[in-house]
């Protein structure tokens, strides 16, 4: 049996070592919508449209345990007195409570340094043929020196336990490495007790009184000496089956089955996302006082309490499943993690500050030229206007709208001569032609992107200039074909985002056609929904804004004019109606 225990221990070490080598990470990993029991609810929660996130799908824990088993009963136990091995399967119901199915099989031994006698001599060995099918003490009815009980009990149980976890309500970190828990449960148990009553010849042991002495058992050293002498005298065969209570549930004629109750407390340490190791102490009790084969010590010392088994064990827990689809068991996660992250994100949002230091009408948060001269006209970015593009700002330019193509003075005045000849005309044409050199190389134009507000498809006025640039290029390059492809951020459903991205691209195409007369056949309309973001793992509104876009590019051979997706809203210059019923102006996720 010692070899078997060592083998099991070695096996556990090897299994845990190999699994730790495969997965030694403790870092935090994100919980995607698909890793929850309700992906739509979780997505709405991330968008601020639901008050609660969805419960994560979490893995089952398969465990093996091995430890020391002894019986607290009528007979002194041997320390170490026995062993126990078993399996468990545990599933979290929520972050604090989980259910565990637990199986244990074990064996324990005991030997008492005090002598016990039969009823003929006032002792507690009362069981006989008159109280059941048991005559084990018959050969001691004539021996006044009695018998020193020696037993070996094999037992097992299968129980369903409720486990309360106390270790994962955390305020200072996202995940815990230690768990403290308590468990109670009930199930069915069975035992088989054997007694070492007879020597190798089948006779009662004699000479036991001389071994015990008169008061030797009152000291620890005396009891140790008695046990040592008894072990030398007994043959250790455990040949006599212990007394069995009549009228209880049995499987067949030999197996006693009792309802058992378990109570445990333990602590476990996470080694990795896959592995944890714990130490647990468990009490196992039932309406049974015959686990050690003995009911009463003497007529006066009746030891009426039922026998209780104690099982101190080490548990190796293995989390099952694919961590791309499920999380660790919930009792290893911090239920406050999402709330703490949201609070941190709120703290990072900018404070809405209306300060306009240079008084140009553009607040400092948006101003790209913080020290504009007072009274100077500016564009929407707060940069001083230069209407004629001659490099001199309008507020300094004595001729804000100089004709193009002429040299200007430091005051911004064009040097236009009163008269020109044919040579001057030819030179002007050459200068103009040189400025449009790229028209002969139409495939290398830079085409801009158009960005959109949350849940909108209308083109914002600040992007009209971008589309004017695109139309100018297409007019200069009459054979040029462009692709407009719409995209969204990850919020809302895939079907809705496909329709929204289509409407955004459609509005851009319609603008080029209606405002600039571009032939619709030169434009290929495509949509990508949320599938190809510019910025992955978005956390703030700025990243979401970059993903809400229409890309404009030279047509590629594989580009096609895509049909409107099923259920897509019709795009208009006014945009797509928001699905949010809240009444507000602006973007509620911007932090203002």
Q: How many domains does the chain have?
A: 3
Same domain, yes or no: 187 and 121: yes
Question: What pLDDT is attached to residue 157?
Answer: 95
pLDDT greater at residue 591 or residue 319: 319
Same domain, yes or no: 218 and 80: yes
Any idea what the CATH number is for the domain that residue 558 is in?
3.30.1330.60
Same domain, yes or no: 41 and 188: yes
CB 356 within 8 A of CB 365: no
pLDDT of 316-368, one tens digit each? 999 999 988 998 898 888 777 767 777 777 777 777 778 888 888 888 888 88
CB 565 within 8 A of CB 528: no
Question: What pLDDT is attached to residue 343?
Answer: 75
Which residues lie below 8 Å from residue 295, measured CB to CB, with a gap of 6+? 74, 124, 126, 127, 243, 289, 303
Same domain, yes or no: 408 and 487: no
Share of the chain above pLDDT 70, in %: 80
Question: What pLDDT is attached to residue 444?
Answer: 66
Q: Which residues pair with 61 in a beta bridge?
A: 90, 319
Mean pLDDT check: name the lowest of 236-250, 434-448, 552-566. 434-448
Same domain, yes or no: 260 and 316: yes
pTM over cut 0.75: no
Is 100 contained in some domain?
yes
pLDDT of 449-480, one tens digit each? 899 999 999 999 889 988 998 998 899 888 89
Which residues lie below 8 Å from residue 591, measured CB to CB, with a gap of 6+? 346, 349, 350, 352, 541
Compute the distance between CA of residue 250 and CA of residue 256 in angstroms, rounded to an integer: 5
Question: What pLDDT is attached to residue 419?
Answer: 64
Residue 420, pLDDT above cutoff 70: no
Is 77 contained in some domain?
yes
Same domain, yes or no: 451 and 557: yes
Which residues lie below 8 Å from residue 317, measured CB to CB, with a gap of 6+? 61, 62, 63, 90, 268, 275, 276, 277, 278
Same domain, yes or no: 423 and 463: no
Same domain, yes or no: 131 and 270: yes
Any idea what the CATH number is for the domain that residue 51 is in?
2.40.160.20
Q: Order of strands across the sheet with 482-486?
A: 449-451, 549-554, 482-486, 523-527
Question: What pLDDT is attached to residue 174?
Answer: 65
Is 170 contained in some domain?
yes
pLDDT greater at residue 409 or residue 583: 409
Compute the distance between CA of residue 152 and CA of residue 174 in angstroms, rounded to an integer: 49
| Domain coverage including residue 379 | 359-435
pLDDT greater at residue 200 or residue 540: 200
CA distances from 82 to 68, 200, 274, 386, 392 (A): 6, 24, 31, 93, 96
Q: Which of 435, 468, 503 is the last residue of a domain?
A: 435
pLDDT of 147-186, one tens digit each? 889 899 999 999 999 999 886 666 666 667 888 999 999 9
Residue 432, pLDDT above cutoff 70: no
Q: How many CB atoms lie within 10 A of CB 11?
A: 12
Same domain, yes or no: 557 and 538: yes
CB 189 within 8 A of CB 86: no
ω into residue 80 within 30 of 0, thus cis?
yes
Same domain, yes or no: 518 and 540: yes
Same domain, yes or no: 290 and 195: yes
Q: Which of 435, 451, 471 is the last residue of a domain?
A: 435
Is 167 contained in some domain?
yes
Question: What pLDDT is attached to residue 24?
Answer: 43
Residue 382, pLDDT above cutoff 70: yes
Q: Which of 401, 435, 469 is the last residue of a domain?
A: 435
Is 592 contained in some domain?
no
Is 293 contained in some domain?
yes
Nearest of 288, 263, 245, 315 to residue 63 by alpha carbon: 315
Question: What pLDDT is attached to residue 434?
Answer: 54
Q: Which residues pair with 152 in a beta bridge?
A: 109, 194
DSSP for 314-363, written as a single string: EEEEEE-S-TTT-BS-GGGB-TTHHHHHHHHHHHHSPP-----TT-SSS-
Compute the distance between CA of residue 437 and CA of residue 448 in angstroms, rounded to an integer: 20
Same domain, yes or no: 166 and 64: yes
- Out of 117-121, 307-311, 361-365, the most confident range is 307-311
Question: What pLDDT is attached to residue 30?
Answer: 73
Mean pLDDT check: name the lowest of 13-27, 231-245, 515-529, 551-565. 13-27
């Amino acid at each position: 049996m010692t070899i078997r225990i060592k083998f099991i221990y070695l096996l556990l070490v090897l299994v845990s070592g190999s699994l730790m080598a495969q997965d030694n990470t403790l870092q935090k990993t994100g919980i995607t919508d698909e890793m929850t029991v309700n992906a739509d609810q979780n997505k709405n929660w991330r968008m601020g449209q639901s008050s609660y996130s969805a419960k994560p799908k979490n893995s089952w824990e398969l465990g093996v345990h091995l430890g020391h088993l002894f019986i607290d009963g009528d007979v002194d136990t041997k320390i170490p007195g026995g062993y126990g091995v078993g399996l468990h399967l545990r599933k979290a119901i929520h972050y604090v409570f989980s259910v565990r199915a637990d199986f244990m099989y074990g064996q324990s031994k005991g030997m008492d340094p005090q002598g016990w006698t039969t009823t003929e001599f006032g002792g507690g060995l009362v069981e006989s043929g008159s109280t059941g099918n048991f005559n084990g003490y018959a050969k001691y009815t004539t021996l006044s020196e009695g018998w020193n009980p020696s037993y070996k009990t094999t037992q097992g149980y299968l129980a369903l336990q409720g486990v309360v976890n106390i270790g994962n309500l955390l305020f200072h970190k996202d995940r815990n490495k230690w768990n403290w828990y308590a468990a109670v449960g009930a199930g069915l148990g069975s035992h088989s007790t054997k007694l070492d009553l007879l020597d190798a010849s089948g006779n009662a042991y004699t000479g036991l009184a001389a071994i015990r002495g008169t008061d030797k058992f009152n000291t620890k050293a005396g009891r140790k000496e008695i046990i040592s002498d008894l072990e030398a005298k007994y043959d250790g065969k455990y040949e006599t089956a212990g007394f069995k209570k009549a009228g209880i549930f049995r499987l067949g004629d030999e197996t006693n089955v009792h309802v058992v109750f378990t109570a445990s407390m333990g602590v476990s340490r996470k080694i990795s996302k896959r592995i944890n190791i714990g130490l647990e102490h468990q009490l196992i009790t039932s309406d049974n006082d015959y686990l050690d084969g003995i009911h009463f010590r003497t007529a006066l010392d009746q030891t009426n309490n039922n026998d209780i088994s104690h099982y101190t064990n080490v548990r190796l827990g293995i989390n099952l499943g694919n961590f791309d689809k499920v999380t660790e068991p919930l009792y290893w996660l911090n239920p406050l993690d999402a709330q703490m992250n949201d609070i941190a994100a709120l703290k990072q949002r900018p404070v809405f500050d209306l300060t306009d230091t240079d008084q140009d009408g553009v607040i400092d948060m948006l101003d790209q030229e913080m020290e504009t001269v007072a009274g100077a006209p500016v564009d929407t970015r707060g940069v001083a206007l230069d209407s004629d593009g001659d490099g001199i700002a309008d507020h300094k330019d004595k001729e804000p709208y100089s004709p193009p193509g002429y040299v200007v003075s430091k005051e911004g005045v064009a040097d236009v001569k009163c008269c020109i000849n044919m040579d001057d005309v030819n030179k002007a044409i050459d200068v103009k032609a040189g400025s449009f050199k790229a028209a002969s190389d139409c495939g290398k134009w830079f085409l801009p992107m158009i960005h959109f507000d949350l849940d909108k498809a209308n083109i914002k006025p600040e992007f009209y200039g971008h589309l004017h640039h695109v139309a100018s290029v297409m007019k200069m390059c009459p054979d040029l074909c462009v692709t407009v492809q719409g995209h969204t951020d990850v919020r809302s459903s895939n079907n809705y985002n496909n329709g929204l991205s289509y409407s955004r691209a459609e509005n851009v195409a319609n603008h080029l056609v209606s405002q600039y007369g571009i032939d619709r056949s030169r434009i290929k309309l495509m949509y990508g929904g949320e599938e190809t973001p510019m910025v992955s793992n978005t956390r703030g509104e700025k990243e979401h804004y970059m993903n809400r876009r229409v890309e404009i590019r030279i047509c590629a051979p594989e580009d096609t004019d895509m049909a409107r997706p099923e259920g897509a809203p019709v795009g208009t210059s006014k945009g797509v109606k928001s699905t949010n019923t809240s009444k507000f102006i602006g973007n509620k996720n911007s932090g203002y």
